[in-house]
């Protein structure tokens, strides 16, 4: 399993773009990068998943450089409701593998 | 169902009591995971089912923890002789297959052991 490292916390003002970077130096060839969001008193919720380059959906963008040793989750124009914990995961596409979460990045959006 | 449902939402137990936590995954989902989440921490893996087969129980912290999914749908996590250190939120998640598709989580059961 590739270990992930991400900042413990970040603060941002409303309306700004937020970028959260995750390091996964020993990512394997068949591994994907997945991000989840968790609000207090709720289970984590899937945000986005990618393998390489850039993926965009209605919520966020995910940037993955060519060496895939890191990835950046980009949240455009955050609002107070984006205050949450964001988890970066590395998952294998080759059948079952334990899905592990780290401690995540606690994003606090300030008015 | 529309999502993953867990019950009860809150459970208070006296130390030494047995508890049973229920998870109703999304209908037809093959994979089911249980996690334990302490306050301020990320979810910690407990166990994994593929249909009715428990393929990975490496995260269960002791033999007081037992999980089952007898018909490949509803799952129950049982904790015997609860201890204060068992106090946490227990999360259940399901996914359609065993591959790296998105996980759908329930809201969890908050267990408090007094």
Domain boundaries, chain B: 5-113
pLDDT at A22 over 80: yes
Predicted local distance difference test score (pLDDT) of residue B98: 72
CB-CB neighbors (< 8 A) of A93 in chain B: 99-100
The pLDDT tens digits of the residues spanning A70-107 come to: 999 999 999 999 999 999 999 888 777 788 898 899 99
Whether A16 is in a domain gets the answer yes
Say yes or no for a CB contact (<8 Å) between A34 and B102.
Answer: yes
What DSSP string describes A53-79? EEEE-SS-EEEE-TT-SEEEEEESS--
Q: Which is it for the CA torsion B84, B66, B32, B102, positive or negative? A: positive
DSSP-derived secondary structure letter, A41 = T
User: Using an 8 Å Cβ cutoff, are B105 and B4 in contact?
Assistant: yes
Question: Which residues, listed in sequence order, are joined to residue A23 by a DSSP beta bridge?
Answer: A5, A70
Predicted local distance difference test score (pLDDT) of residue A3: 87
User: Using an 8 Å Cβ cutoff, are A101 and A109 in contact?
Assistant: no
State the pLDDT confidence band at B113, using cuts at 50, 70 and 90: very high
Angstrom distance (rounded) from CA B34 to CA B32: 7
The pLDDT tens digits of the residues spanning B61-111 come to: 999 999 999 999 999 999 999 999 999 999 999 999 877 789 999 999 999
Order of strands, edge to edge, in the sheet holding A70-75? A18-23, A70-75, A61-64, A53-56
Alpha-carbon distance A96 to nearest alpha carbon in chain B (angstroms): 6
| B41, B100, B105 ranked by CB distance to A91: nearest | B100
Interface probe with B: pick from A2, A38, A43, most Cβ of B within 10 Å: A43
From A38, which residue of chain B is nearest by alpha-carbon distance? Answer: B42
Q: Which is it for the CA torsion A85, A86, A88, A89, positive or negative? A: positive
- Domain range holding A69? 9-110
Which residue, among B74, B19, B79, B21, has the nearest Cα to B49 in the 3D structure?
B74
Say yes or no for a CB contact (<8 Å) between B45 and A99.
Answer: yes
Whether A4 is in a domain gets the answer no
Alpha-carbon distance A104 to nearest alpha carbon in chain B (angstroms): 7
- The CATH number given to whatever domain includes residue A86 is 2.60.40.10
The pLDDT tens digits of the residues spanning A56-70 come to: 999 999 999 999 999
Angstrom distance (rounded) from CA A95 to CA A45: 22
State the pLDDT confidence band at A1, using cuts at 50, 70 and 90: low
Q: Coil, strand, or helix at residue A86?
A: strand
Mean pLDDT taken over chain B: 95
| A32, A36, A85 ranked by CB distance to B100: nearest | A32
* CATH class for the domain made up of B5-113: mainly beta
Distances (CA, A) of B58 to A58, B45, B54: 36, 8, 10
DSSP-derived secondary structure letter, A81 = G
pLDDT at A2 over 80: no
Interface probe with B: pick from A51, A99, A104, A105, most Cβ of B within 10 Å: A99
Whether A1 is in a domain gets the answer no
Angstrom distance (rounded) from CA A111 to CA B17: 45
Say yes or no for a CB contact (<8 Å) between A44 and B104.
Answer: no
Higher pLDDT, A30 or B24: B24
When divided into structural domains, chain A yields a total of: 1
């Amino acid at each position: 399993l590739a270990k992930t490292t991400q900042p413990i916390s970040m603060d941002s003002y409303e309306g700004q773009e937020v970028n959260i970077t995750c390091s996964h130096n020993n990512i394997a060839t068949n591994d994907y990068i997945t991000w989840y969001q968790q609000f207090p008193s709720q289970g984590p919720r899937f945000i986005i998943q990618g393998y390489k380059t850039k993926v965009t959906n209605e919520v966020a963008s995910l940037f993955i450089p060519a060496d895939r040793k890191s990835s950046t989750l980009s949240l455009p124009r955050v609002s107070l409701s984006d205050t949450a914990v964001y988890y970066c995961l590395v998952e294998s596409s080759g059948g079952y593998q334990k899905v592990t979460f780290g401690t995540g990045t606690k994003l606090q959006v300030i008015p | 169902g529309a999502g993953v449902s867990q019950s009860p939402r809150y459970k208070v137990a006296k130390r030494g009591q047995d508890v049973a936590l229920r998870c109703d995954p999304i209908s037809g989902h093959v994979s089911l995971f249980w996690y334990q989440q302490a306050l301020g921490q990320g979810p910690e893996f407990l166990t994994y089912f593929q249909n009715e087969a428990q393929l990975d129980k490496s995260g269960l912290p002791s033999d007081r923890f037992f999980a089952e999914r007898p018909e490949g749908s509803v799952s129950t996590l049982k904790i015997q002789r609860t201890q204060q250190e068992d106090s946490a939120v227990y999360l259940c998640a399901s996914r359609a297959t065993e591959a790296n598709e998105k996980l759908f989580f329930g809201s969890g059961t908050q267990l408090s052991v007094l």
